[in-house]
Structure formats: C-alpha cells, structure tokens
Amino acid sequence: MLSVLQPKVGIVSCSGEELAQGTVARLATLEVLHELRPTHTVTICLPLFLAGGEGDREFARHHPTITIDGCDLRCAARGTEMYSGMPAASLVVDELVAAAGLAPPEGRRALNEAGRQAVKVVAERLAQLVDEVLDRRQHPPPAASPATSGGETDPPTCPCRSGRGPVR
C-alpha cells in the first residue's frame, strides 16, 4: 500500500515495450527510484493505474507526479491526466535526447551505448525535477513558474488554468 503521509513524488513511466525510448524511460525511472532519490520517490505502475488500481490512483490524487514518456504519444502523461489530475511535470525521452545532442537510442531489449547515455541524462533530469517539485511543495511560489528545459511538455498548471499550479 502506498503511503499518503510521506512527502513523495510518484513517477509514472510509459514503459513502452515497442521502442528503445520506452526502455530508456523505464530504466531512468528505476535509476531515480533505487539510486538517485530513493527516499523521495515511488513508482506508479502504469498498467495497474490504467486498469483501476485504486491505491495508485489515490496516491496520485494526493501527491505530485512526474510522468516520463518515451515518445510523443505521451501515454503516461495522458493516463495520469485522465485518471488522477495534471502531473507536476512531464518529460519525453525523445525530446531530452535531442536537447542533449545524443544519438537516438536503439535496442528495446538491450540498449546500445547511446541508449545507456540517454538513461543517465534522463535520470539526472528526472531527479532534478523531483527536487524542484518537492521544493515547490514546501515553498509554494506566489505564481507558478513552469519548468523550461528541453524535453518537458505542457508546463504544470491547474485544470482551471488559473496559473496557480497543480492543486495537490
């Protein structure tokens, strides 16, 4: 059961098995979860979330989430918006890879060198976003200041577009 008491960020990864970018998203998520920010993150299982896992949806309603998608279909971001609310931030691997000037990752089952580099880049950006999201939560700004670096889409905002940021 996911705790709703600790200040944690839920990471929702697309896990797309068809593409190497999905593997990058998944491995970057696990890197953050296990190595970079183990005490401040949990992962939300996207299939369970989509299938109606009430524990995961409940967590995402009360905690900030960061979604990470392999491609511009943005399944994780759309699924989170659909079932729990706007994510605090969203990343797309393709866009981060392009912004970092890396070659496109290859090898959905076993990543090539470019893919492994992409995992590092994405994991570091994801960890940075976790810190930013938690900091925003502890010190809410008077007005939302959307994250701006490459790879992020749809700056965090509230559903009513009042500009006060996601209500968590």
Contact set with another protein (CB under 8 A)? 13-19, 22, 26-27, 29-30, 33-34, 43, 45-48, 50-51, 53, 73, 75-76, 78-79, 82, 108-109
Of 60, 75, 59, the C-alpha closest to 22 is 75
CB of 70 to another protein, least distance (A): 9
CB of 42 to another protein, least distance (A): 9
Q: Which is nearer to another protein, 36 or 99 (CB)?
A: 36
Taking the C-alpha atoms of residue 5 and residue 3, their distance in angstroms, rounded to an integer, is 5
DSSP output for 71-114 = STT-HHHHHHHHHT---SEEEEHHHHHHHTTPPPP--SSS--HH
Q: Smallest distance, Å, CB 168 to another protein? A: 22
The residue among 47 and 140 lying less far from another protein, judged by its C-beta, is 47
**Measured from the CB atom, is 39 or 148 closer to another protein?**
39
**Minimum CB–partner distance for residue 157 and another protein (Å):** 21
Of 68 and 147, nearer to another protein (C-beta) is 68
Chain mean position to CA 23: 14
Kindly state the smallest distance separating residue 123's Cβ from another protein, in Å: 12
CA 157 to chain centre: 15
Contact 53, 77 (CB under 8 A): no
Stretch (H or E) spanning 12: strand 9-13
Residue 74, burial from CB neighbour count under 10 angstroms (0-12, 13-18, 19+): buried
Q: Which is nearer to another protein, 19 or 126 (CB)?
A: 19
